[in-house]
Amino acid sequence: MNRLSTSVSLLRRSLCLALSFRGCTHVPSPVSNMSTTTNVASDESHGTATWKKRSVVSSFIFDFGHGATDSPEETDSSSSTTRPRVALFRRSGKVSTYQHHLAPISGSIDAADASPLAAAWRELAEETTLTGAELVLLRQGKSYTFRDESVRREWTVFPFAFRLRTPADATRIVTDWEHETWGWHNPAVVIRLAERGASLAESGDDLNGVPRLADSLRRVWFEADLGDAAGRVLATGLDALATDHQSGARQLATAALRTLRDIVASLDYSPASPMADPAWWWAQVGMAAWHLWKNGRESMGAAIMSALLAALAEIGDAMHSQQEQQHQSRFVISTAWRDSVVAQLDRRIAARAESAQRVSAAFAQYLEGAFGDKLASREPLAVLTLSESSTIRAGLRHAAHAAGFALDVRVLESRPLFEGVSLASALAQDLAATTTTTTAAAAASAHTITLFSDASAALAAQGVDVVVIGADRIASSGAVSNKTGSLPAVLSVKYVNTGSGGSVSGQEGGARVVVLGETDKIALPGRPEEHVVEDNDAGQLSRSWAVEDSSARVRDAATALQSLRTDSSTGSRGPKVSIRNVFFEWVPAGLIDVYITESGQWSVQDISEHSEKLRDEEERLLGEL
């Protein structure tokens, strides 16, 4: 059995586990005939006492600035000026395992490493001298575990892909004692040759790449399995998610679903294609969903993951139903199946608007119960919010138009991209859009909207009845990740309205802190600090210092700080200067009074239970990929 056949067998096993697919007892054993490696899940004949377990990173360096690869192993004549190249390094005779084999930059994850990604950056610096000045993280791949009988090791591999910032940065690669030589290769050719165990060496000797080289590479270079068309769709979708700093988590989740839909539509459905095999098709669609979750906008990954898991579960049910209906004949993926899944995803995308409407209705119901006196007296309800959330906008609009509240809305501008300004403008238009009745016109004139700088959150908090924040991620503990500035706003309101002993009319104990968001914002179990910290382009901050209205001293300082920051990153002497532009921060559950979802008011216990269910679903649908 060759490596590709082994992969398909493993994927069919994955499909069985995920979907309870009929006929799983007849699935071929996933154990490979290869003498070097076996999957841990399929290797039950050996004890674990003599196996050394190691967690390692495998970092692939890509260059997108050249044409055809200069590696002698390249045999594909259809080169183009945009073909990517991947660097492979020949391990030296001084390393303990896989001497003289071709490999990415690899190394063990140490206890001192904050994360696998931190280990990858450390290994890159140690073995190539490259740092963030020359490299950008392109993608992470789904980790996997296998055993190598030849060295009695159980490896858990965390693959990463990095790209050179410029083609010239390749000249900065200086290898250490762990490598003999290195060169550029076509990733598609590497995967094809490694799959069949062919030599990658110029001299024609029998040295292969390290075990599972193809498996590690294809987990970051999904184009090899998806095909050119679907691969481009996924790559474009990931880039759109990563660079969209205007949309909220719900909108990004919808965008991810649209990308998944377009991927399904773009796959090769010809009868001779590997996609005709349900197990292979399922694995590629599942892996595409995983990449959308992890490599799009991971700081907002909870909403993306939840939306994609729900879509995969529905697709899986349909696949199971198809297999049951065709009990006498083997179910084969076809264009009819493609059309069915695309229509299914279209319906799911359209239905997401209904979820937001249910959140708005639940929010209005909560306000009517908590602030009924203000509704009766027509005294304005003072609301503090920030950033731009489509859910908050819809909720406030519903509170005004449907419930009849007069609103005194205070909006923090939300630097550095000033999303609060957009929210204030959109909300002003929403509240002005009334019917022609006298009552409605009077209600519209009762609303006020005031913009405040982020630094004046305490001033904006004076007399506030309720703080309304969105949720880009809700931890299983109930802590909420939202736009930076959320925690100061909440603390300001808590202190200003209760810290001095005062109280707010209509409330017992001061202002309320309300989180608005669908349940798909809830993340898998884990501590808040374990989630990704999104530190964005420092230029988003520094550009506002250099505007014409700033003083000459400030403009000069902005230029000087940027220069010092650049110098310190290249190792020059002097103080290390950095500019932090962290987009999201955590608001602890203890500061939050209520969570309003499409299912009504939720507690921390509700959130925790939902998080556990998500973990089970993620393991069922994606765990075996």
The DSSP code for 496 is: I
528 and 481 in contact (C-beta within 8 Å)? yes
The mean per-residue pLDDT over the stretch 145-168 comes to 95
**pTM to 2 decimals?**
0.82
Is pLDDT at 437 greater than 70 in this prediction? Answer: no
Query: Which pLDDT score is estimated for 325?
Result: 81
Q: According to the model, what pLDDT value does residue 559 have?
A: 85
The mean pLDDT of 9-36, rounded to a whole number, is: 44
pLDDT over 80 at 206, yes or no? no
Q: How confident is the model at residue 245 (pLDDT cuts 50, 70, 90)?
A: confident
Check residue 502 and give its pLDDT.
41
The boundaries of every CATH 1.20.120 domain in the chain are 226-353
Query: What is the structure's pLDDT at 538?
Result: 85
For the stretch 567-573, contacts whose Cβ atoms lie closer than 8 Å and that sit 24 or more positions apart, written own/partner, are 569/131, 569/132, 569/133, 570/133
pLDDT digits (tens, 9 = 90+) for 79-133: 444 689 999 999 999 999 999 999 999 999 999 999 999 999 999 999 999 999 9
DSSP string, 31-86: --S-SSEEEGGG--SS-STTPEEEEEEEEEEEE-S-SS---TT-------TT--EE
CATH 3.90.79.10 placement within the chain? 34-221
* CATH 3.40.50.10470 domain range(s) in the chain: 357-529+585-622
| Class of domain 226-353 (CATH, top level) | mainly alpha
| Contact yes or no for 544/416 (Cβ under 8 A) | yes
pLDDT for res 573: 64
Greater pLDDT, 202 or 335: 335
The amino acid at residue 504 is V
Query: Confidence band (pLDDT; 50, 70, 90) for 457?
Result: very high
C-alpha to C-alpha distance for 25 and 337, rounded to whole angstroms: 25
Mean pLDDT of the chain: 85
pLDDT of residue 540: 87
pLDDT digit string, tens, across residues 614-625: 999 999 999 989
Lowest mean pLDDT among 128-137, 202-211, 250-259: 202-211
Residue 40 has pLDDT above 70, yes or no: no
Instruction: Say what the pLDDT of residue 68 is.
Output: 38
* Minimum mean pLDDT range among 163-172, 226-235, 359-368, 495-504: 495-504
Q: What residues contact residue 323 under an 8 Å CB cut-off, 6+ apart?
A: 21, 22, 23, 278, 331
> What span, in angstroms and rounded, lies between the C-alpha atoms of 520 and 611?
10
In this predicted model, what pLDDT tens digit does every residue of 527-570 receive, in sequence order?
888 777 778 888 888 888 888 888 999 988 888 887 776 554 55
Identify the pLDDT of residue 242. Answer: 93
Low-confidence winner among 224-228, 409-413, 502-506 (lowest mean pLDDT) = 502-506
443 has pLDDT over 80:
no
Residue 77: is its pLDDT beyond 90?
no
- Please state the rounded mean pLDDT for residues 273-301: 95
Residue range 370-374: mean pLDDT, rounded = 94
Long-range CB contacts for residues 201-206, cutoff 8 Å, separation at least 24: 201/73, 201/102, 202/72, 202/73
Number of separate helices (H) and strands (E) present in the chain: 19, 19
Q: How far apart are CA 131 and CA 235, in angstroms?
A: 24
Q: Around Cβ 465, how many Cβ atoms within 10 Å? A: 24
For residue 323, the model assigns a pLDDT of: 83
CB of 149 closer than 8 Å to CB of 36: yes
CATH of 357-529+585-622, one of 3.30.565.10, 3.40.50.10470, 3.30.230.70, 3.40.630.30: 3.40.50.10470
pLDDT at 80: 42
Res. 604: pLDDT tops 90:
yes
pLDDT band per the 50, 70, 90 thresholds, residue 16: low
Q: Which amino acid is at 533?
A: V
Mean pLDDT of 275-280: 94
- pLDDT value of position 197: 62
Residue 84 structure tokens: 């990517």
Quote the pLDDT of residue 308: 97
Compare 140 and 82 and report the one with higher pLDDT: 140
Residue 25, pLDDT > 50, answer no
30 — pLDDT class (breaks 50, 70, 90): very low
What does the pLDDT read at residue 70? 40
For residues 147-153, average pLDDT: 91
At the topology level of CATH, where does 34-221 sit? Answer: Nucleoside Triphosphate Pyrophosphohydrolase (3.90.79)
Residue 202 has a pLDDT of: 42
Say yes or no to pLDDT of 411 above 90. yes
